[in-house]
Amino acid sequence: FCTRDKDVFRIRVTLNGMERCIGVTRTCARPRSFVSTSRLSFGSQPLFAFSLGSSVSRSSKRNGCVFPVSSGYRTIVAMRSVEQGEQSQPPTNENLLRLPGAGNTYPGAFYAGQPVRSIPPIDTKLYQRPPKGTVPFVYHTEYDIRFYGLENLHPFDSKKWGKVKEMLVNRGLIREDQISTPQPATDSDLEVAHTKEYLASLQSSYQVASITEVAPVLLLPSFIINRQLIQPFRHHTGGSVLAGKLALEQGWAVNIGGGFHHCCGCAGGGFCMFSDITLTAVFARHKKGIRRVMIVDLDAHQGNGHARDFMGDRDAYILDVYNADIYPQDHDAKSAISKPVELKSGTGDSEYLTKVSQALSEAENDDFSPELIIYNAGTDVLSHDKLGKLDVSTHAVLQRDELVFAFAKRAGSAIVMLTSGGYQQNNAKVIADSICNLHSKGLISL
């Protein structure tokens, strides 16, 4: 159990029937570094903390030992057991005690500070029941970002989602009135995965400019930023959560948007403002009673946001195939990826499809048995994408998506597809082509 009093975390630990109270001062350090403070002692004796109300006994055979460790965004309080006389070592996934807990507690570690509420609000509108006759395609007209032309300063095509929808309608795959329309995620919804401090920081033009990588946003007042930029991200996020619900009810779903895999609970970046992947999983767990979630992230960039959110979560399996030469190169988040597959710039069709297929086969052999697969289907893997820097053809992207949906079918798992990144004008057509191909191959049915 952990509470916070200003900059001191008060931790109450029960170990072998003995209760100990320990206070640890908040620290700022390099990601996942071993932190020393005035309240930590090193040497041949077990590591322990001195603080207000501290009563850890030096003479006990085994002691509960608390380390503050920075995750890069939040302070993690981790605990390990140390034998008398053992040399103190930094905590690792192997030597952490497996602590039971509630809320935002993960095996071996729990987040301290401003808590993240991991139980969705009872009155959330994100899990609404769509009107009769709708299909599991999720889209809202608010997805497209129109920001006085400033959106064109970023290479991302901020209107591709509307283009995808139009193509699917024009090709006769779906009708306008069949599309499931999501509600925007409210602050109460977002607090399921985000800290209040982070959400409050979005009132800063500087913060939003940094996340969206559009410098002129700095010059605009927050009410305009909220209406023209933040609100579309809220709709995308609501769309991902709704698509997760529909997938569990109908076997599959596509959010024609979402996939903001660089955002975690306490920080955004890389044009990712809200952690919609994490929220989709958490809502599904609490609202639908599932436990095992697999994230298949095939965007060209490493999915460091959801990886940080699910660090230490044994019921989350992350398969991530990405170009290791490009942003974000988050080596700490990589430790949370169950099946990392690193590519080099210029990787072409044959090698790409072979590695994706092999990774899926290995994941299948790991016997994880996911109940929900969240597929982050970025199209920035395409040739000539200046940010993705891979050399994958349109045909190979269609084959890739087939592989993932066929994998879900074999696993008997629901699958939700998010469209994620892609920085060329042809991305919308490729996404529409792939969805139509999945339908023609019988991997999705209407």
pLDDT digits (tens, 9 = 90+) for 195-248: 888 999 999 999 999 998 887 888 888 888 899 899 999 999 999 999 999 999
Range with the largest mean pLDDT of 12-16, 89-93, 145-149, 303-307: 303-307
Q: Which two tokens stand for residue 31?
A: 């990601």
Q: Which stretch of 156-160, 338-342, 403-407 has the lowest confidence by average pLDDT?
A: 156-160
Whole-number Å distance between alpha carbons of 307 and 287: 22
Q: Are 403 and 445 in contact (CB under 8 A)?
A: no
Tell me the CA distances in angstroms from 340 to 173, 277, 280, 294, 389, one per residue in order: 35, 18, 21, 13, 18
What pLDDT is stored for residue 281 in this prediction? 95
Q: What percent of the chain has pLDDT over 70?
A: 71
C-beta atoms surrounding 435 within 10 Å:
25
Q: Is 19 exposed, middle or buried (0-12, 13-18, 19+ CB in 10 A)?
A: exposed
Largest Cα span, the chain? 75
The answer to whether residue 252 scores a pLDDT higher than 60 is: yes
Summarize the confidence of residues 38-49 as an average pLDDT.
Answer: 30
Cα 253 to Cα 32, 62, 157: the distances in Å are: 36, 50, 23
3-state secondary structure of 228: helix
Question: What's this model's pTM, rounded to 2 decimal places?
Answer: 0.77
pLDDT at 75 (0 to 100):
34
| pLDDT, mean of residues 176-183 | 97
Task: Give every strand in the sheet of 75-83, ordered side by side.
Answer: 62-70, 75-83, 109-111, 105-106
Closest to 431 in 3D by CA, of 387, 388, 401:
401
Measure the CA–CA gap between 84 and 86, rounded to whole angstroms.
6
CB-count exposure of residue 341 (10 Å: 0-12, 13-18, 19+): middle
For the segment 63-88, what is each residue's pLDDT rounded down to a tens digit? 233 333 222 223 333 333 333 333 33
β-pairing, 372-376 vs 105-106, is unpaired
Assess whether pLDDT exceeds 50 at residue 98: no
Is pLDDT larger for residue 153 or for residue 168? 168
The listed range with the strongest mean pLDDT (40-44, 60-64, 435-439) is: 435-439
Phi-psi region of 408 (alpha: psi -120 to 50; beta: other; left: phi over 0): alpha
Q: Between residues 28 and 446, which one has the greater pLDDT?
A: 446
| Calpha distance 228→51 (Å, rounded) | 47
Is 422 in contact with 160 (CB distance < 8 Å)?
Answer: yes
pLDDT exceeds cutoff 90 at 408: yes
For 240, the enclosing helix (H) or strand (E) is helix 231-250
Distance CA 137, CA 181 (A): 9
User: For 96, which DSSP code?
Assistant: B
| Residues with a known catalytic role | 262
* Of residues 218 and 15, more confidently modeled: 218
Tokens of 354: 């072979």
- Whether 189 contacts 279, CB under 8 Å: yes
| Better-predicted residue by pLDDT, 39 or 435 | 435
Q: How many CB atoms lie within 10 A of CB 107?
A: 16
Mind listing the pLDDT tens digit for each residue in 104-161?
322 223 333 334 556 788 789 999 888 999 999 999 999 998 766 665 655 667 789 9
Compute the Cα dihedral for 413, 122, 316, 299 and give only its sign: positive
In a 3-state reduction of DSSP, which class is residue 360? helix
- β 414-418/252-255 pair status: parallel
What mean pLDDT is reported for the chain?
A: 78
Q: Could you write out the DSSP letters of every residue in 263-286? A: -BTTB-BTTB-S-HHHHHHHHHHH
What pLDDT is recorded for position 202? Answer: 95
> How, if at all, do strands 179-180 and 372-376 pair?
unpaired
Question: Looking at the predicted structure, is the pLDDT value of residue 51 above 60?
Answer: no
Beta carbons of 411 and 369 less than 8 angstroms apart:
yes
Q: Does residue 16 come out as left (phi exceeding 0), alpha (psi in the -120 to 50 range) or beta?
A: left
* Inter-residue long-range contacts of 397-402, CB under 8 Å, 24+ positions, other chains counted: 397/430, 397/434, 398/430, 398/433, 398/434, 398/437, 399/353, 400/298, 400/352, 400/353, 400/356, 401/377, 401/434, 401/437, 401/438, 402/437, 402/438, 402/441, 402/443
More reliable by pLDDT, 25 or 149 = 149
pLDDT per residue over 346-387, tens digit each?
999 999 999 999 999 999 999 899 999 999 999 999 999 999
| C-alpha separations of 106 from 118, 195, 227, 387, 446 in Å | 11, 16, 35, 34, 38
Radius of gyration from C-alpha coordinates of the chain: 23
pLDDT band at 179 (very low <50, low <70, confident <90, very high): very high
